[in-house]
Chains A and B, each alone.
Chain A
Amino acid sequence: MSLTKITRLPSARLLSSIIQQQQLFLLPPITPVMTVSKRSMLQGEYRRPGQPKEDKFPWEKIKFDFAKGLEGIKKHFTLLKTECFERFVGPEGRPLTVHILEQNRVIWEFRGPESLEQWTVSSDREIGGQSEVYLKLGKNNTCFLYGTLSSTPPRDGETRYSGYCTMRSKQLLASFDRKKHHDWTSFNCLHLRVRGDGRPWMINIAGENYFSYRKDDIYNYFLHTRGGPYWQDVKIPFSKFFLTNRGRILDDQYYLWLDKINTIGFTLGDKTDGPFQLEIDFIGVCKDHAHTEEFAYEMNKKNP
C-alpha cells in the first residue's frame, strides 16, 4: 500500500488498519470487565466481613405505597402549618417574655411511651458484637435503658475492641424532612436527673457541621453514676465537652457551638461485661451565671 493510498482512506479505517493487529491482544482483557456484575458499579456502603450481601437495588428497598404517601402529606403539611403560625406567637412558638427570661429549659422529659419514640438505641451488635440494649418505660414513667454489655470482639479479623451500648436522640426534622436544630445559645450547662447502677457513661453531643469529613465529630463528657435508690442531679457545663472523632480525642480542640445541636447520646463502654441499667428522668439545659469558663481545654495549634 503506497503512501497516497493510505492518505485517501477514511480516517476511521486508517485507525482500524493499524489497531487491527493489536486488537487480538486487547480483546481478552476486555471480556472479564464485561462479565463483572452490575452491582459493583453501584457504590454501596462498607460491608463488614461476615455480613451477608444484600442483593437488592437501592430503589427496591423503598416502599412505594399510596397510604404512606397520604400519611406523609398530612404529616408534612401539619408541620408546615405549625411552623408558619408559631411565628405569630414568638420565637420557637413561645411568647417573647418566656423566650427572653427563661433560665432553664427541659428538652426531653420522659413521661409516657411517646417520649421514647424520639430516641434510638444501638449496640455493638451492628459490628458483630454481642451486647444488647433495650429501652422501655420505667416504673414511674421514666426512661429505662437496660441490657447486657459484652466486650467480646467479633471474629472478623479486623475488629480489635468491642462492647458498647448507646442511646441517641433522633434528629429534629421540620416539614419536608428538613433538618432542624436545637438552639441552646442562651444556656451554658446541661442538667440531667439520672439513676444508674454505678457505671460510668459518656454523654455525646453532636452539632451540625458544614464539611462532610467532620460528620463524625462529636463532643463528649463523662457521666458518672452513683448507683443506689436515690436520683442524682448532674449538671455539666458545656465548656467541659471535648471534641472527638470516632472515639479518638482530636488534637485541635474547639468549644461546642450551641446554636446548632443535632443530637445527644449516652454511651456505655466501660469494658465490664454484665448487665447494666440507666434511668433518666429528664434532660434539660440551664444557665449558670457563676460559670464563666468558655472552654476547659487549651486550644493550641497542632504539632508546633
Chain B
Amino acid sequence: MKSVRCLLHLQCLRLLDQSARSAAQCAPLLQSSSSSQPSVLHKTQHQLLRQFHSSPAWSKSQPTPADDHKKDKSLVTNDDLFEQVAKDVKVKATFNKVVDVFLNRDVRRRGHVEFIYAALKKMPEFGVERDLAVYNKLLDVFPKEVFVPRNAVQRMFNHYPRQQECGVQLLEQMEEYGVMPNVETKVLLVQIFGKKAHPIRKYQRMMYWMPKFKHVNPFPVPLQLPEDPVDVARFGLARIANDLDAKVTVYQLPCTDITETGEEITIPHVVGIQSPSQMELLAKHNPNKPVFVEGPFPLWLRQTCVHYYVLRADPPEEKVEEPYDPERSLYYPLRLDVDFGRDLGDEENFDVEDLDEGPVFAMCMTGRGDQATLNQWISGLQENNPMLGQVPTLFRVNAGPQELSASADAESGHAHRPDTETRSEEKLQRDGEPGVIVEEEPQRRQGRNQ
C-alpha cells in the first residue's frame, strides 16, 4: 500500500514539474483563447490537471506554495472578490473584470462552483441579470471536459453532482429572468457536462417551452418602459382604453418653474384619452345627473405602477331603447329580420345577471392627483364635449399617496395595510368623510375657460 502511494507521489512530482513548465508557457494563450475554439495546448493542460485530481493524498500533504498567501478561511471569499474588484462602479464591465480576475487567479479554477453561486447572487446588483453574454461567460468558468462522464458507470450515476446542480441553478436563474439561451450556451454545456447531463436536459426544456410562451401576452409591455412619464401615460392609456379610435390628448406638459421668491413650482403632466363612442355617450348624458371623477386606480406595466382617473356616471335608471335608424349605414343593413332557424341549443350567451356600472366617459393620468390638476383635465375635455359645462362634476378622489393603491371602489374599499388595526382605522376615517366631494358650479368653470 505504502509503496503504491510512494510511486504515485513520485509520478505526481514529475508531472508537476512538466505541467508547471507547460502552464507557464501557455498561460497567456489559455486566457486569451475562448472556449469555443479550444487549442491543443488547452487540451493537454486539462489532461495534466486531471492527473492532479486523481491523487488526493498528494494534494493534501503538499499545498502549493503559490496558494499559501491567498488562502482565506472565510466562506464568503467570492463575495469579497466582487466587493474588492468592483468597488464603486457596478456595471457589466466590472462584472466581467471580476470574472477575469477569478480566471487568472488559479489555473485549476479551484472553487469555481462557489464563485458561480456568488456571481449569480451578485448579478442583479450589477444590472446584468438579463444579459445572455454574461451568463455564457459565467458558464465558461467551469473547466471543460473534466465533468464529462467517460464510462457507463459514471453515466449511470450522477457524475459530479455539485457541479451539475450549479449549472442547473445558472440556467434556472436565466429562466427566471426570461433570458433565452443560445447555441453558444449549448456548446459550452456539452463541453462541460457531456451530452446527456442534467444541465443539458434543463437547456432542452427551456428551449422547448420558452419560445412557446414568449409572445403569449396579448397586451405586451416593452421590457424598457420610456423614461418620460408622459410617454408612459400615453402607453398606459392606450392600453386600457381598448379602442383603436381613442385619441390621446396631452393637456399639460410637466415643467418646473422658479418664482421670484425662489420657490419651486412643479406643474404635473395631464394626459387624457377619449374615444368617439365615449364622446357620443357623454353627449347623450342626462344633464341633471352628475358625472364623477374617480380614482386613482392602479395599472401595472411590468414592474411599474401608474395610476389613472376615470370620468364616469351612475347607471341610468330607465333604459331608453334607441330608435333604429336605417340610414345610419348605407353600406350594409344594421338589422336583419331573418329567421335562420335557431335551435334550442344555439344559445350562445351566458346566463348571467348583467352588471351595469354606468358609462365611462374619459380617462386620464396625471403626475399629481389633486383636484386642481384634475380640473385642468375636465376643462380641457370641455373643448370637445360642451355637455360637460352643464353637468355638475363631483370629485371622488382619494387624497393621500398612501391610499393611492387602495381600491377600485371609492366607497367601500379600504386600503391593504399589513395589520388589521390600521385598516379598521382607515375605514372609519373614510366612512367619516367619503373622499373629497366638491360640487362645481358650471358657470364658474365656464368663466374660467373663457
Contact = CB atoms under 8 A, between A and B. Distances in A.
B109 to A, nearest CB: 25
A104 B352 CA distance: 11
Contact of B352 (A101, A224, A230, A282): A282
Decide if the interface of chain B is mainly helix, strand, loop or mixed.
loop
Interface in B399-425: 405, 407-409, 411-412, 416, 418
A227 B407 contact: no
Contact of B298 (A101, A197, A282, A303): A197
Contacts of B310: 229
A303 B176 CA distance: 24
Contacts of A275: 298, 305, 405, 416
Say which size band chain B's interface belongs to: 35 or more
B353 interface: yes
A286 B219 CA distance: 24
A303 B357 contact: no
A97 interface: yes
A224 B219 contact: yes
Interface string B200-226: 010001000100110011110100000
Contacts of B303: 272
Given A228-B363, A229-B312, A275-B416, A101 B355 contact: no
Contacts of B205: 249, 251
A197 B209 contact: no
B302 to A, nearest CB: 7
A272 to B, nearest CB: 5
B302 A229 contact: no
Contact of A274 (B201, B219, B405, B418): B405
A284 interface: yes
A100 interface: yes
Contact of B299 (A101, A139, A228, A251): A228
B350 interface: yes
Nearest to A233: B350
B13 to A, nearest CB: 43
Nearest to B294: A229
Contact of B242 (A161, A191, A228): A228
A131 to B, nearest CB: 11
Contacts of B350: 104, 106, 191, 282, 284, 286
B240 interface: yes
A193 B353 CA distance: 12
Most B C-beta atoms less than 10 A away, residue of A101, A102, A229, A303: A229
Interface string A180-196: 00000000000101010
Contacts of B346: 103
Interface string A105-123: 0100101000000000000
A134 interface: yes
A104 B346 CA distance: 10
Contacts of A147: 416
A273 to B, nearest CB: 9
Say which size band chain A's interface belongs to: 35 or more
Contacts of A191: 350
A146 to B, nearest CB: 6
A277 interface: yes
Interface string A1-22: 0000000000000000000000
Contact of A228 (B209, B240, B302): B240
Contacts of B351: 106
A227 B212 contact: no
A90 interface: no
A132 B416 contact: yes
B348 interface: yes
Given A229-B360, A231-B355, A222 B405 contact: no
A297 B216 CA distance: 14
Interface in A222-253: 222, 224, 226-231, 249, 251
A43 to B, nearest CB: 29
A100 B347 CA distance: 12
Contacts of B347: 102-104
B345 interface: yes
Contact of B348 (A101, A104, A193, A224): A104
B408 A226 contact: no
A199 B239 CA distance: 13
A111 B354 CA distance: 11
A200 interface: yes
A262 interface: no
B241 interface: yes
A111 B353 contact: yes
Given A132-B416, A272-B300, A224 B217 contact: yes
A277 B312 contact: no
A182 to B, nearest CB: 16
Interface string B173-188: 0001000000000000
In the A-B complex, the 5 residue pairs with the smallest Cβ-Cβ separation, listed nearest first, are A228-B240, A101-B345, A139-B409, A275-B405, A198-B300
Interface of A: 97, 100-104, 106, 109, 111, 132, 134, 138-140, 142, 144, 146-148, 161, 191, 193, 195, 197-200, 222, 224, 226-231, 249, 251, 271-272, 274-277, 279, 281-282, 284, 286, 297, 303
Given A101-B345, A272-B300, 15 more contacts: A102-B345, A111-B353, A140-B355, A140-B357, A198-B219, A222-B216, A224-B218, A224-B219, A226-B240, A226-B242, A229-B363, A230-B360, A275-B416, A277-B408, A284-B352
9 contacts: A97-B344, A104-B350, A106-B350, A161-B176, A198-B239, A224-B217, A274-B300, A284-B350, A303-B201
